[in-house]
Each structure stands twice: as structure tokens, then as C-alpha cells.
Amino acid sequence: MRSCTILAAALSVISLMGLPARAEEWVSIPGRGGVMLKALMLKPAGAGPFPAVIALHGCGGLGSRGEVMSARHRDWGDRLQAAGFVVVFPESFASRGLGSQCNVRDRDVRSKDRAYDAFATAEWLAARPDIQRSRIGLLGWSNGGTTVLSAARDIRRPKGVDFKTAIAFYPGCRTMAEQDFRPRIPVTILHGLADNWTPAAPCQSLPGVTFIGYPDAHHDFDYPNLPLRTRKAAFSADGSGTVTIGTNPAARDAAIGRAMGIFRGM
């Protein structure tokens, strides 16, 4: 039995040896205001040039509980990389010596700061010969989704390059709705209509965006295999500080199909 296991493992290694390797590495990106951004870059096999997606983590940071990447970020990063995209995850919190911000009410890093992180990452990508600079997309979840909206507003932009399209998963939209939000690039919001952490209603009111709501879907509905549960958070729709998170398989599948279609078409 042991010999069969060893043989199977050897055959697996041999089969993989014929495949070109995909790269994953930490990179340093000069940010605004003297910040040196740590970012994890996933790159397809080959020389390119490739389209790219800048992916913005939520309030928990890129990883949690000792993980380099959370399961959600890994799931999306692997999917986009396999589809031929360079994917860059700038770590806005760890780069500033901060941990999770999910239970912090007065945060040192605002969505505007994180938007500048996205701009710096776009500028860094645009200078690389292996990137199709006209095909750089923006993706974010929750706090990162709010950052997507901030980065897509018509009042500021990167230098010498811009995003082709932007997708925000369950962002907080209340402030944007109060600030007369106007996007300069195509923006799609994918939101759970049962979300009690960052409620969908303010996002539905934003002008100039494509809003897609998923019934019975809560916050983190696209997270892979996350059982529905409650957790504490600094902010909640009802002010209690208790929110519901968890996977909704139907909404997850539909949102993945929608997002991947948008990025492939950019």
C-alpha cells in the first residue's frame, strides 16, 4: 500500500514537471507619503504581457491567524492568476505596522489612504514590461470595497495610468452616498441584500454604478466554505456591534461568474 502511495506521488510530481511554474512573491512598492507598501504578487507562467488586477483586502488585512492570505483572498488570487492575470494584493495595514482594523472605530488608515495605495500599485504595474497597462482592474472586499469606490471617484486618479474597471464586494457606501459620489470609471457593486455589517441600501442609491444584489446573502457571501455565524465588529447596521457573515453558495457562484466576465472583457 505504501509503495502505491509513493508511486502516485512520484507520478504527480512528474506530471507537474512538464508545466510552467506560476510565480508568487512579496514585492515592495513605493507608496504616497513615504509609505513602502508590502504586496503579494501572483503572476501567471510566461513572459506576458498580462492584464492585471489590484485586489484590496478587507478590514482584517490580507491574512489572519498567522495565514499569509485568508481563504477568500487565496481563492480569488488563484482564480485570477489561473485565468492569466497578474494579481497584486497591497497590504495597507501591515505596511503601516497595523493589524486587523475590524474592531477599531477610530482607524488610522482611511479609504482615501488606501486609494492612494491602489494608485501607487497601478503606477508600479504600468512601469513593468510584463503588464498590459491599458488593462488594469481594481477589486476589493468590504473595507477594500469602500476603497475601490474612493479610488474610482472623479476627484483623484493615478499618475499616467488608470483602472479599466472596478468591482467592489459589499462595500460600505453611506459616506460615499453623502458626498455626492461620481465615478470616472465603470464600477460594479456586488452586494448581499441581507448584509447587516455594510448594508446594501446606500450602495443602491449611488449614481453611475452597476449594482447587483443577492437575496439572502450576508457579508462575506463569496468566502469559500464559511459557515453562517455572528461576530463582533466596530460598526454594524443596527449599532449593536454584532454582524452576520458566511457563504451563500448561489450568490458566490453568480458573483464569481459576473466578476470574471467583467475582468476578461476589460
Angstrom distance (rounded) from CA 159 to CA 4: 57
Give yes or no for residue 15 having a pLDDT over 60: no
Residue 91, strand partner residues: 38
Judge whether 85 and 129 are in contact, CB under 8 Å: no
Residue 2 has pLDDT above 80, yes or no: no
Q: What is the pLDDT of residue 251?
A: 98
- The answer to whether position 16 is within a domain reads no
Q: Is 10 part of a structural domain of the chain?
A: no
pLDDT at 112 over 70: yes
9 pLDDT more than 60 = no
Q: Report yes or no: 184 and 153 within 8 Å, Cβ to Cβ.
A: yes
Tell me which H or E stretch contains 135.
strand 131-141
- The most confident of the ranges 7-16, 56-65, 194-203 is 194-203
Task: Return the pLDDT at 16.
Answer: 33
Residue 6 located in a structural domain? no
Name residue 39's amino acid. Answer: A
Q: What is the mean pLDDT of residues 50-57?
A: 98
* pLDDT for residue 54: 98
Q: Please compute the mean of the pLDDT values over residues 55-65 and round it to a whole number.
A: 90
Which pLDDT does position 245 carry in this prediction? 98
Model confidence over 179-222: pLDDT tens digits? 889 999 999 999 999 999 999 999 999 999 999 999 999 999 99
Which pLDDT band holds residue 65 (cuts at 50, 70, 90)?
low
Mean pLDDT calculated for residue range 153-178: 94
Instruction: Give the per-residue pLDDT at 158.
Output: 96
pLDDT at 11 > cutoff 90: no
Nearest CA-CA partner of 153 in 192, 204, 187, 114: 187
Q: What is the pLDDT of residue 66?
A: 67
Q: What whole-number distance in Å separates Cα of residue 100 and Cα of residue 215? A: 29
Tell me, what CATH number does 126's domain have? 3.40.50.1820
Q: What pLDDT, on a 0 to 100 scale, did the predictor assign at position 107?
A: 87
User: Is 7 a member of any domain?
Assistant: no
Report which residue type is found at 76: W
**Tens digit of pLDDT for each residue in 217-239?**
999 999 999 999 999 999 888 98
Mean pLDDT over each residue of the chain, to the nearest integer: 90
In one letter, which amino acid is 6? I
User: What pLDDT does residue 141 have?
Assistant: 98
| pLDDT at residue 102, rounded to an integer | 86
What per-residue confidence (pLDDT) applies to 21?
58
Residue with the larger pLDDT of the pair 107 and 131: 131
Q: 107: buried, middle or exposed (CB in 10 Å: 19+, 13-18, 0-12)?
A: middle
When pLDDT is averaged across residues 101-113 and rounded to a whole number, the result is 88
Number of domains in the chain: 1
189-198 pLDDT, tens per residue?
A: 999 999 999 9
In the three-class reduction of DSSP (H, G, I as helix; E, B as strand; rest coil), residue 81 is classed as helix
Q: Has residue 139 been placed in a domain?
A: yes
For residue 223, give its domain range: 22-264
